Amino acid sequence: MSDTGGEVQTHTVRLELVDEPGELLRALEPISEAGGNLLSIYHERGNLTPRGHIPVEVDISCAPTRFETIVEALRNAGVNIIQAGSERYDEELVVILVGHLVDTDLSDTLRQIESCADASLTDLSLSAPKGRDETSSARIRLKTRSGTNGNALSKLREIAAEKDLQVIEPLTEASQ
């Protein structure tokens, strides 16, 4: 038994880190401070995520209630979590954004989408056939927490409205 009243279990957190000195340590500190015991770290330096960052997989042992605290501490530290546990991000959402994506700061748009904590970017394809001054489009693939596709899509609609972008939404069984 742990000091939090639950059996100690192994949990996996998959992170996305910028390739800069100290980023791995910055991501590990909240885990330690929240009481997680590090079991292993797999730092995939030769493999990059679609955003050009380094994926890192961390195995932790702790009680399930402590794990939730660790995930929250990572978020509060600004660490991008791709997956936390076995079922955190297990649904997929694919949409197309159309408009002046470059001029409205596409990286800011993606940061805002991920800030809702229900979604994580897994793939991005951008098409700007006439350069940054004309309309462009992007296919965005997100992993979302189970049951939160609606929340992520609502957040995406809000961001698109603020930036005067059009969202081409996926078809769902309910809308067919």
**For 81-128, what is each residue's pLDDT tens digit?**
888 875 455 577 889 999 998 888 888 888 787 776 567 777 788 898
Considering the domain architecture, whether residues 43 and 96 belong to the same structural domain is answered as: no
Considering the domain architecture, whether residues 163 and 142 belong to the same structural domain is answered as: yes
For residues 141 and 92, the answer to whether their CB atoms sit within 8 Å is yes
Which structural domain range is residue 115 located in?
A: 89-170
- Token reading at 1: 């038994």
Is the pTM here over 0.75, yes or no?
no
Considering the domain architecture, whether residues 106 and 66 belong to the same structural domain is answered as: no
Considering the domain architecture, whether residues 32 and 96 belong to the same structural domain is answered as: no
Into how many domains does the chain fold?
2
Question: Which of 18, 53, 84 represents a domain boundary (last residue)?
Answer: 84
Considering the domain architecture, whether residues 28 and 79 belong to the same structural domain is answered as: yes
Residues with pLDDT less than 50, the chain: 1-2, 4, 87, 172-176
For residues 124 and 102, the answer to whether their CB atoms sit within 8 Å is no
